[in-house]
Protein backbone atom coordinates (compact mmCIF):
# COMPACT_ATOMS: atom_id res chain seq x y z
CA UNK A 1 0.00 0.00 0.00
CA UNK A 2 2.72 2.51 1.00
CA UNK A 3 4.78 1.51 -2.05
CA UNK A 4 1.89 2.28 -4.42
CA UNK A 5 1.15 5.55 -2.66
CA UNK A 6 4.82 6.50 -2.83
CA UNK A 7 5.00 5.65 -6.55
CA UNK A 8 1.91 7.76 -7.29
CA UNK A 9 3.34 10.60 -5.23
CA UNK A 10 6.59 10.31 -7.16
CA UNK A 11 4.65 10.70 -10.42
CA UNK A 12 2.98 13.85 -9.06
CA UNK A 13 6.39 15.28 -8.17
CA UNK A 14 7.69 14.40 -11.64
CA UNK A 15 4.81 16.35 -13.20
CA UNK A 16 5.71 19.32 -11.00
CA UNK A 17 9.35 19.02 -12.07
CA UNK A 18 8.29 19.07 -15.72
CA UNK A 19 6.19 22.16 -14.98
CA UNK A 20 9.30 23.73 -13.44
CA UNK A 21 11.26 22.94 -16.60
CA UNK A 22 8.51 24.53 -18.70
CA UNK A 23 8.72 27.65 -16.51
CA UNK A 24 12.48 27.75 -17.04
CA UNK A 25 11.97 27.57 -20.81
CA UNK A 26 9.32 30.30 -20.67
CA UNK A 27 11.58 32.46 -18.52
CA UNK A 28 14.41 32.07 -21.02
CA UNK A 29 12.09 33.01 -23.91
CA UNK A 30 10.87 36.13 -22.07
CA UNK A 31 14.43 37.26 -21.33
CA UNK A 32 15.61 36.59 -24.90
CA UNK A 33 12.59 38.45 -26.32
CA UNK A 34 13.25 41.40 -24.01
CA UNK A 35 16.94 41.61 -24.95
CA UNK A 36 16.14 41.23 -28.64
CA UNK A 37 13.47 43.92 -28.57
CA UNK A 38 15.72 46.32 -26.65
CA UNK A 39 18.55 45.91 -29.16
CA UNK A 40 16.78 45.44 -32.48
CA UNK A 41 14.14 47.87 -33.65
CA UNK A 42 11.29 45.82 -35.07
CA UNK A 43 8.51 47.96 -36.55
CA UNK A 44 5.24 47.58 -34.65
CA UNK A 45 6.85 46.02 -31.58
CA UNK A 46 7.89 47.76 -28.34
CA UNK A 47 11.52 48.50 -27.47
CA UNK A 48 11.78 45.81 -24.80
CA UNK A 49 9.31 44.18 -22.47
CA UNK A 50 8.92 46.43 -19.44
CA UNK A 51 7.40 43.62 -17.39
CA UNK A 52 10.07 41.00 -18.18
CA UNK A 53 12.13 41.45 -15.00
CA UNK A 54 9.28 40.98 -12.56
CA UNK A 55 7.77 38.11 -14.56
CA UNK A 56 11.20 36.44 -14.70
CA UNK A 57 11.61 36.86 -10.94
CA UNK A 58 8.22 35.25 -10.33
CA UNK A 59 9.03 32.41 -12.74
CA UNK A 60 12.36 31.74 -11.02
CA UNK A 61 10.62 31.56 -7.64
CA UNK A 62 7.85 29.30 -8.97
CA UNK A 63 10.19 26.96 -10.82
CA UNK A 64 12.23 26.57 -7.65
CA UNK A 65 9.06 25.63 -5.78
CA UNK A 66 8.01 23.19 -8.50
CA UNK A 67 11.32 21.37 -8.62
CA UNK A 68 12.26 21.29 -4.90
CA UNK A 69 10.05 18.31 -3.87
CA UNK A 70 11.24 16.25 -6.85
CA UNK A 71 14.88 17.04 -6.05
CA UNK A 72 14.36 15.95 -2.45
CA UNK A 73 12.81 12.68 -3.62
CA UNK A 74 15.74 12.04 -5.97
CA UNK A 75 18.25 12.71 -3.21
CA UNK A 76 19.53 15.68 -5.19
CA UNK A 77 18.50 18.40 -2.77
CA UNK A 78 21.16 20.16 -0.71
CA UNK A 79 23.02 17.48 1.20
CA UNK A 80 26.34 17.60 3.01
CA UNK A 81 27.15 13.98 3.75
CA UNK A 82 30.93 13.78 4.07
CA UNK A 83 30.65 13.36 7.86
CA UNK A 84 27.92 10.72 7.48
CA UNK A 85 30.21 8.69 5.26
CA UNK A 86 33.09 8.90 7.76
CA UNK A 87 31.34 8.02 11.03
CA UNK A 88 30.04 4.61 12.20
CA UNK A 89 27.02 3.38 10.23
CA UNK A 90 24.58 3.26 13.16
CA UNK A 91 25.45 6.82 14.20
CA UNK A 92 25.09 7.98 10.58
CA UNK A 93 21.68 6.27 10.37
CA UNK A 94 20.60 8.00 13.59
CA UNK A 95 21.76 11.35 12.24
CA UNK A 96 19.79 10.70 9.04
CA UNK A 97 16.69 10.29 11.24
CA UNK A 98 17.45 13.46 13.14
CA UNK A 99 17.96 15.37 9.88
CA UNK A 100 14.67 14.06 8.49
CA UNK A 101 12.80 14.99 11.67
CA UNK A 102 14.26 18.49 11.65
CA UNK A 103 13.44 18.78 7.93
CA UNK A 104 9.86 17.64 8.56
CA UNK A 105 9.42 20.14 11.40
CA UNK A 106 10.85 22.99 9.30
CA UNK A 107 8.64 22.11 6.31
CA UNK A 108 5.52 22.03 8.47
CA UNK A 109 6.42 25.32 10.18
CA UNK A 110 7.07 27.08 6.86
CA UNK A 111 3.86 25.64 5.41
CA UNK A 112 1.90 26.90 8.42
CA UNK A 113 3.36 30.40 8.43
CA UNK A 114 3.25 30.57 4.63
CA UNK A 115 -0.46 29.70 4.68
CA UNK A 116 -1.08 32.36 7.33
CA UNK A 117 0.80 34.96 5.26
CA UNK A 118 -1.02 34.06 2.05
CA UNK A 119 -4.39 34.17 3.81
CA UNK A 120 -3.61 37.50 5.48
CA UNK A 121 -2.52 38.92 2.14
CA UNK A 122 -5.69 37.66 0.47
CA UNK A 123 -7.91 39.10 3.20
CA UNK A 124 -6.18 42.48 3.17
CA UNK A 125 -6.19 42.76 -0.61
CA UNK A 126 -2.48 43.59 -0.64
CA UNK A 127 -1.05 44.33 -4.07
CA UNK A 128 2.39 44.15 -5.63
CA UNK A 129 2.71 47.39 -7.53
CA UNK A 130 5.57 47.46 -10.00
CA UNK A 131 5.22 47.49 -13.76
CA UNK A 132 2.41 44.99 -13.31
CA UNK A 133 -0.13 45.23 -10.51
CA UNK A 134 -0.94 41.81 -9.06
CA UNK A 135 -2.44 40.53 -5.82
CA UNK A 136 0.37 39.67 -3.41
CA UNK A 137 -1.22 36.36 -2.41
CA UNK A 138 -0.79 34.96 -5.93
CA UNK A 139 2.91 34.42 -5.23
CA UNK A 140 2.46 33.58 -1.56
CA UNK A 141 -0.13 30.81 -2.07
CA UNK A 142 2.15 28.20 -3.73
CA UNK A 143 4.67 28.32 -0.84
CA UNK A 144 2.61 26.46 1.80
CA UNK A 145 1.43 23.94 -0.78
CA UNK A 146 4.99 23.09 -1.79
CA UNK A 147 6.17 22.87 1.81
CA UNK A 148 3.36 20.43 2.56
CA UNK A 149 4.58 18.39 -0.43
CA UNK A 150 8.12 18.55 0.98
CA UNK A 151 6.82 17.43 4.39
CA UNK A 152 5.05 14.46 2.78
CA UNK A 153 8.27 13.54 1.00
CA UNK A 154 10.11 13.75 4.33
CA UNK A 155 7.65 11.16 5.67
CA UNK A 156 8.31 8.90 2.67
CA UNK A 157 12.06 9.36 3.24
CA UNK A 158 11.64 8.28 6.85
CA UNK A 159 9.65 5.25 5.74
CA UNK A 160 12.39 4.28 3.26
CA UNK A 161 15.07 4.85 5.92
CA UNK A 162 13.18 2.66 8.39
CA UNK A 163 13.21 -0.22 5.90
CA UNK A 164 16.76 0.33 4.64
CA UNK A 165 19.99 -1.14 5.85
CA UNK A 166 21.33 0.69 8.90
CA UNK A 167 23.75 3.34 7.74
CA UNK A 168 23.73 6.60 5.82
CA UNK A 169 21.60 6.89 2.71
CA UNK A 170 23.22 5.80 -0.52
CA UNK A 171 21.53 8.39 -2.74
CA UNK A 172 23.53 11.38 -3.96
CA UNK A 173 26.61 10.49 -1.95
CA UNK A 174 29.50 12.91 -2.44
CA UNK A 175 32.22 10.81 -0.79
CA UNK A 176 32.91 7.10 -0.74
pLDDT in tens, 99-113: 999 999 999 999 999
Domain-located, residue 58: yes
Q: Is 109 part of a structural domain of the chain? A: yes
Residue at 145 is within a domain: yes
Number of domains the chain is built from: 1
Residues in the chain with pLDDT values less than 50: 175-176
Contacts of 79 (CB under 8 A, 6+ apart): 172, 174
Q: Residue 67: CB partners within 8 Å, gap ≥ 6?
A: 16, 17, 20, 21
Our CA angle for 100, 94, 167, nearest 5°, is: 100
> Is residue 93 within 8 Å of residue 101, measured between CB atoms?
no
Residue 133 φ then ψ, to 5°: -110, 115
Residue-number span of the structural domain to which 109 is assigned: 2-162
Residue 169: inside a domain = no
172 located within any domain: no
What backbone torsions phi and psi does residue 56 show, to the nearest 5 degrees? -65, -40
Closest to 74 (Cα-Cα) out of 9, 3, 23: 9
In 40-141, which residue ranges form alpha helices assigned H by DSSP? 52-74, 82-86, 89-124, 137-140
Report the C-alpha gap between 78 and 154 in whole angstroms. Answer: 14
Q: Is residue 168 part of a domain?
A: no
**pTM for this model (two decimals):** 0.89
Per-residue pLDDT at 173 = 53
Query: Does 171 fall in a domain?
Result: no
Amino acid sequence: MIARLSAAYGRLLAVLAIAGCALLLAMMLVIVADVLLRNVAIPGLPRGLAWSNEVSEAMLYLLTLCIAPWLLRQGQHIRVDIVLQAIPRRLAWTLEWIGDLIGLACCLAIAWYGAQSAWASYQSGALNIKTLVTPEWWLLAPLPVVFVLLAVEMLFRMHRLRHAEIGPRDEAVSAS
